[in-house]
Amino acid sequence: MNYIDKIQPIHLDILKEVGNIGAGHAATSLSTLLNRKIDMKVPSVRIVPFAEMMELTGGSEKEVVSVSLSIEGEAGGNMFFMLAVEEADRFIQKLMSDESFTFYDRHSHSIGFSAMQEMGNILSGSYLSALGDFTQLKLQPSVPELAVDMFGAIISYGLLEISQYSDYTIVIDTLLTEMDEGDGEVVKGHFFLLLSPDSFPVLFEALGAGYNE
């Protein structure tokens, strides 16, 4: 039986809580770092075919800035923090007070790239450490890598291992939004957590909801 077929509604609720705790901590870190208001949506946890996964956030050709890392340890998978390029540009322009900044020009703006990389490190680090505390699992993140490219080209890396088992993936998607003083939305960033199939039994076991209950 395919691992996806064993997933019950309670498991999806647990994964929602995983997203909630992880991204909640990341949102707090970001808010502290920037001294701004960060809004977090309830995580969306869904079982989607690969084709649908590739069309999230505006399609597989959509140009994004991504900080990605792989997770190893007692549970494994991949995590991506992604922003649309124009929003990431605005974010770094404001952070560095440099209106000429753009992610399309790596050479003249290397400090902005470092700033984004560092922010990605902090956010994914707080997401994962919260997840580790919550589950009591040992999780080791790789060094996060920054990429400016098409959404599909990046997220497909998170599907590679899963594709050995299935044509479907479980995606834990949490949206963080930076708000301005008038509660207007400024910048939106997505956290995508794609766990490897082996990780689900471990995770559910750790949280007291095995597959066979």
Partner 1 sequence: MNKTGEIVKVGIADMNIVKPPDVIRTSGLGSCVGVVLYDESTRIAGMVHVMLPNSGLARENIKNKAKFADTGIRALVSELEKRGARTIRLKAKIAGGAQMFQFKSGSDLMKIGPRNVEAVKEQLQAARIPILSEDTGGSSGRTIEFDPSTFLLHIRTVNKGEQTI
Examine residue 182 and tell whether it contacts partner 1 (CB under 8 A).
Answer: no
In the complex with partner 1, the residue whose CB is nearer, 17 or 72, is: 72
Phi, psi of 91, rounded to the nearest 5 degrees: -60, -50
Which one of the spans 11-19, 37-45, 50-58, 172-180 is the region binding partner 1 (CB under 8 A)?
A: 50-58
With CA atoms as reference, report the closest residue to 82 among 68, 71, 70.
68
- Give the Cα separation of 178 and 162 in Å (integer): 32
| The binder of partner 1 chosen from 114, 133, 142, 205 (CB under 8 A) | 142
- Give the Cα separation of 189 and 169 in Å (integer): 21
Query: What does the block give as tokens for 187?
Result: 């910048």
Examine residue 185 and tell whether it contacts partner 1 (CB under 8 A).
Answer: no
In the complex with partner 1, the residue whose CB is nearer, 35 or 104, is: 104
Contact 206, 136 (CB under 8 A): yes
In the complex with partner 1, the residue whose CB is nearer, 40 or 53, is: 53
In the complex with partner 1, the residue whose CB is nearer, 69 or 92, is: 69
In the complex with partner 1, the residue whose CB is nearer, 26 or 146, is: 146
CB atoms within 10 A of CB 198: 14
87 Cα distance to chain centroid: 16
Please tell me whether residue 170 adopts helix, strand or coil conformation: strand
- Give the Cα separation of 90 and 100 in Å (integer): 10
Report angle CA 13, 186, 92 to the nearest 5 degrees. 105
CB of 162 to partner 1, least distance (A): 10
**Binding footprint of partner 1, residue count (CB under 8 A):** 36
Examine residue 60 and tell whether it contacts partner 1 (CB under 8 A).
Answer: yes
15-44 residues in contact with partner 1 (CB under 8 A) are: none
Examine residue 140 and tell whether it contacts partner 1 (CB under 8 A).
Answer: yes
Q: Which residues is 185 bridged to in the sheet? A: 179
Pairing of strands 168-179, 44-49: antiparallel
Examine residue 184 and tell whether it contacts partner 1 (CB under 8 A).
Answer: no
Binding mask 77-116 for partner 1 (x = CB under 8 A): ---------------------------x------------
Give me the residues that bind partner 1 (CB under 8 A), please: 2, 50-51, 54, 59-61, 63, 68-70, 72, 104, 140, 142-143, 145, 147-154, 156-157, 159-161, 163-167, 197
